[in-house]
Structure 1
Amino acid sequence: MSARVITSPERLPLQHGYPRVFLGGSIDMGSAADWQKDMIESLRGEDVVILNPRRSDWNPAWKPDASNPNFRQQVKWELGALESAHVIVLYFLPGSQSPISLLGMGLHAKSGKLIVLCPQGYWRKGNVDITASRYGIVQVADIDELKTAVREKLRKLREQQSVERR
């Protein structure tokens, strides 16, 4: 197997035979740069399931209200994907606010799953940096380091699984 991409609202697979990487971070209702596409391409040769919340059919006119079925479906998918992920990538783009990614960081700060890229210019960089320091969250300086850190985390997960099988 090589990388399999699951994009919201596609059903999450029940089997957990391969590590799962959630690509969270700046999307801004589809207006932020599609950094997820670049990450997906960098993981093509890996035996991994990539969980991508950025959906091509997203309609920014959908009200972010719990009574909106499309919005509810997206939030529930993201919560399920975050919980099932072995690695959670969060990229906070400068010029973006990404409040949902901040929420995800808070929910999973103690999980040991997070790898965060938060360059200068992100409006709450101080909060991200302090939280990352307090909870031992891996932080990287640029997209290339992010790709390397994800592949390294996947390698360690595979080694751990190999030891557990013995």
Structure 2
Amino acid sequence: MSSPNPQRAKIHFPPAYPTLTCPSLILFGTIEASSTSDWATNLTNHLSDLPIQILNPRRDDWDSSWVEDASFPPFKEQVEWEMHFPAEVGLIVIFFKAGSLCPVSLIELGMYASVRPGETVVCCEEGFWKKGNVDVVCKKFGVEVVRTVGELERCVRGRMVGLCGYRDEEKGEW
């Protein structure tokens, strides 16, 4: 008997440390000032009907005057939050937007590509300044790479549908 799940995605932001009780993912990558062009918000909206938990490190209360130093408590809290969840989630998503730098996301790719390659998905747009490096690292460790946000949305949705245990997404069967 099929029964669609009425639950919707739950989104978590720092500094909260939620207990993960269902399939989950964490978002790393380019942070955009505008929410209308924010890939993470758009991806979250694309997944909103699934019974999953999404961890988004973006902080609306981030203050650009914060010192990026381990001795500065708000900064340290943010970095520790970002390092805590990748070991717990079912999927790590990393996005490299053309024209952006995102050096911290390059570090995150390096941290997780070798230890969680099957649970990591990367979108690296044409024109990202270190695209060659991203491609070589992903190929070496077997990390799936897509080239567009649309491909990323389809890929991540498919992975999360599988983690949710759907047999047939269109019918909503479990």
Query: Which among 129, 146, 156 is matched to residue 123 of structure 1?
Result: 129
Aligned to 1:22: 26
**1:115–1:139 contact (8 Å) kept in structure 2:** yes
- CA drift of 1:31 comes to 7.3
Structure 2, unmatched stretches of 5+, are 1-6, 167-174
Counterpart of 2:104 (choices 91, 100, 103) is 100
Q: Deviations over 1:106-155 (max 9, x none)?
A: 11103121111101111100000001111111111211110111111113
1:59 aligns with 2:63: yes
- Rg larger in 1 or in 2? 2
Percent identity (aligned): 35
2: distance between equivalents of 1:149 and 1:116? 10
Q: Does the Cα contact within 8 Å between 1:12 and 1:81 map onto a contact in 2?
A: no
For structure 1, the residue ranges without an aligned partner over 5 or more in a row are: 161-166
Relative contact order higher in (CA < 8 Å, ≥ 6 apart): 2
Work out whether residues 66 and 75 of structure 2, in 8 Å CA contact, stay in contact via their aligned partners in 1: yes
- TM-score, normalised relative to structure 2: 0.84
Q: 1:163: which partner in 2?
A: none
* Residue 7 of structure 1: how far off its partner (Å): 0.8
Aligned length: 157
Per-residue CA shift, 1:86-123, capped at 9, x if unaligned? 11111101121111111111111031211111011111
Output the TM-score relative to the length of structure 1.
0.88
Question: Distance in 2 between the 1:71 and 1:17 partners?
Answer: 27
Q: How does 1:11-90 map to 2 (within 5 A)?
A: 11-13=17-19, 16-27=20-31, 30=33, 33-90=37-94
Q: Deviations over 1:29-51 (max 9, x none)?
A: x5795211101100110010000
